[in-house]
Structure 1
Amino acid sequence: MAMSDKAENTGEKIKGAVKKNVGKAVGNERLEAEGRAEQAKGGLKQAGEDVKDAFRS
C-alpha cells in the first residue's frame, strides 16, 4: 500500500508542476497558484510517507 501512496504523491507533485508551468506560460496566476498548492500537497504527503517508513524500519 505504501508504494501506491508514494506513486500517487509523486503524480500529484508532477501534476502540480505541470499546472504551475502552464499557468506561468499563459499568464494565468490562479492556475499557477493551484499548481504550486498541488505540488506542496504532494510533497507534504510524501514527507508523511517517509516518516511512516522511518518508524517501520
Structure 2
Amino acid sequence: MKSSTQDKAEGAFHQIKGKVKEFAGKISDKPKLEIEGKAEKTAGKVQEKIGEVKKVLGK
C-alpha cells in the first residue's frame, strides 16, 4: 500500500499533467486530448484526497 505522502505527491503530479493536456487540447483544437486532461486532473484530485484520508487515519 502506498504511503499518504506518495499518494498526495502522485495526485499533484497527475493534476499538473492533466492541466497541461487540457490546455494543449484547447490550443490545438483537439477535444479528445482536452477531455483526457480533465479526466487525469480529476483522477489526480481523487488520489490526493485519498492521501489526505490515509494521513488522518494514520495509514
Q: TM class by shorter-chain length?
A: 0.7 to 0.9
* Partners of 1:13 and 1:52 in 2: CA distance: 19
Query: One-letter code of the match for 1:15?
Result: K
Query: One-letter code of the match for 1:29?
Result: P
Give matches, 1:17-56, under 5 Å: 17-56=19-58
Task: Count residues in correspondence.
Answer: 56
Q: Which has the higher contact order (CA 8 A, sep 6+)?
A: 2
Structure 1 ranges of 4+ moved more than 2 A: 1-5
Query: One-letter code of the match for 2:45?
Result: G
* Partners of 1:22 and 1:13 in 2: CA distance: 14
Output the TM-score relative to the length of structure 2.
0.84
The equivalent of 1:14 in structure 2 is: 16
- Measured on the aligned residues, the alpha-carbon RMSD in Å equals 1.1
Output the TM-score relative to the length of structure 1.
0.87
